[in-house]
Amino acid sequence: SIIRTMARGAFIVLEGLDRAGKSTQVSMIVEALKERNVPVERRVFPDRSTAIGGIINDYLAKKIELAPEAVHLLFSANRWECKDGILETLEKGTTLIVDRYAASGAAYSAATTGRPLSWCTSPDQGLPAPDLVLYLDVTPDTQQQRSNWGEERFERAETQRKVAENFRKLSESGNWAFVEAGLDKLEVHQKLLQKVLDLLEGCKDKPIGKLYE
Ligand code: FDM
Ligand code: MG
């Protein structure tokens, strides 16, 4: 077996409904870690830069129609095609801050296909598991006040309500922390950063887990 000579990076995911502020907070965490000389990279799912991601993008932008189950599998395939890249990054000691991942996959698809969460989580089984999921908890009022609300598919109050319920169920397994998203963005940042810093030391010697196993 390979002797690990270097600490691995942490795998941290930000989750939440649309307009919860995930992208802004990912940027702020990445900047804060860089200032502390922590090797860090960001990723976003869906990764719209790949061929599969291009189809997902056209679907979300309402340019094409697809069966919701087929889209679900594309979202999962989009994570699988990034699996080796994620592991390489973590193994070289770089921490990953990721904007959405498998929980979004299951929470949105269970809402849009009507299929059980267990059906929705199964294609992701075996993917690298996050060390920590930071959930940005946003209210419908805050969502609707934020810019460009309602443009993409799934940005409807009823869908979002179901997705939120699914996120709560998913949070019962794995390491999740909830942070109120309606606060001032610096306040949200400070809460998130504290949780990230608390985690960093602790996961260095732990093997990277596998989702739903
Ligand atoms: N989404 C995202 C899914 O439905 N499944 C997934 O696996 C992922 C990663 O895609 F509505 C949805 C969530 C959201 C849309 O994401 C695009 P952004 O973060 O809003 O761009
Ligand atoms: Mg969105």
178: enclosing H helix or E strand: strand 176-180
More confident residue, 172 or 6: 172
What's the pLDDT tens digit per position in 78-115? 999 999 999 999 999 999 999 999 999 999 999 999 99
96: enclosing H helix or E strand: strand 95-99
Q: Is 74 in the pocket of ligand 1 (CB under 6 A)?
A: no
Does residue 2 surpass a pLDDT of 60?
Answer: no
- How far apart (Å, rounded) are the C-alpha atoms in residues 86 and 127? 10
What pTM value is reported for the model? 0.96
Residue 74's identity, in one-letter code, is: L
Residue nearest atom 11 in ligand 1 by C-alpha distance: 154
Does residue 156 surpass a pLDDT of 50?
Answer: yes
* Residues ≥6 apart with Cβ < 8 Å to 60: 46, 152, 153, 154
How many Å lie between the centroid of ligand 1 and the Cα of residue 1? Answer: 38
What's the pLDDT tens digit per position in 162-203? 999 999 999 999 999 999 999 999 999 999 999 999 999 888
Q: Is residue 14 classed as helix, strand or coil in its secondary structure?
A: strand
- Does the ipTM surpass 0.95? yes
